[in-house]
Amino acid sequence: MKNKVIIITGGSSGIGRACALAFGRAGGKIVINGRNAQKLNEVGQELAAANIEYLAVPGDVSQEEDCCLLIEQTVAKFGRIDVMLNNAGISMRALLQDVELDVIRQLMDINFWGTVYCTKFALPYILESKGSIIGVSSIAGYQGLPGRTGYSASKFAMQGFLGALRTETLHQGIHVMVACPGFTASNIRNTALAADGSQQGESPRDEGKMMTSEEVADRILYATRKRLRDIVMTTQGRLAVLLSKFLPGLTDKLVYNQMKKEPNSPFK
């Protein structure tokens, strides 16, 4: 990663912050993007303290013009792009029969359209550098999760988009990868949207038993170096992907029963 230029959306916390530090320590020049300018600056201070060259560009990936500006400012400062790491995302936890449609639109705007916008504008520079385009997805992109209809839809869409792009650019030398961390100790569940669009405010899962954001970042860095096609990071996740292909009916039941065990689950 030495002297490579890496753009990381959702870089103000969680997996994005951890990736910024991991890729930076590996020699990369880091561009972090996020909606919260204060948190973004705090991560910038961490990068500076580690002697990592960086650029912080506040912005909302659901807004096309913000994504265009992110790419323009990166190229203006560093002159190139080697890795476009589409990490920004939000989740939800509500039944479809209860959820407001604007919640699903918001998930699609950030998780799917944010990936489309950033990838579209970064693509000419990635083609030039023979670099990498990465989408941080989820098991929800392979298997629909009950109570997460909008989240699952956005991740299925992201993976379909990146899969088509991989094939489209098959002979152009770029690397397209989907990374699925599984359940990770980050703030995505704390900021997950409830049925009315408000943040649920607390995680329904035991964060202490999950992978850390730092572990996820190290695996994404390794997979980027190896230019892997995809990476599913947990045994439970790999089992779910395998079963969903060969025993889809059984997988539906297993996933339902797993989600039913969550505190305050709607499936009682």
Inter-residue contact 259 to 88 (CB < 8 Å): no
3-state secondary structure 168-223: HCCCCCCEEEEEECCCEECCCCCCCECCCCCECCCCCCCHHHCEEHHHHHHHHHHH
Residues 46, 35, 21: CA angle, nearest 5 degrees = 25
- Quick one: which of 70, 220, 54 has its CA closest to 137? 220
Instruction: Spot the catalytic one: 54, 117, 125, 151.
Output: 151
Inter-residue contact 32 to 54 (CB < 8 Å): yes
Tell me if residue 151 is catalytic. Answer: yes
190: Cβ–Cβ under 8 A, 6 or more apart, which residues?
199, 200, 201, 202, 203
Q: Where does the chain show beta strands of DSSP type E?
A: 5-9, 29-34, 54-58, 83-86, 132-136, 175-180, 184-185, 211-212, 230-232
Q: Which residues form the catalytic set?
A: 151
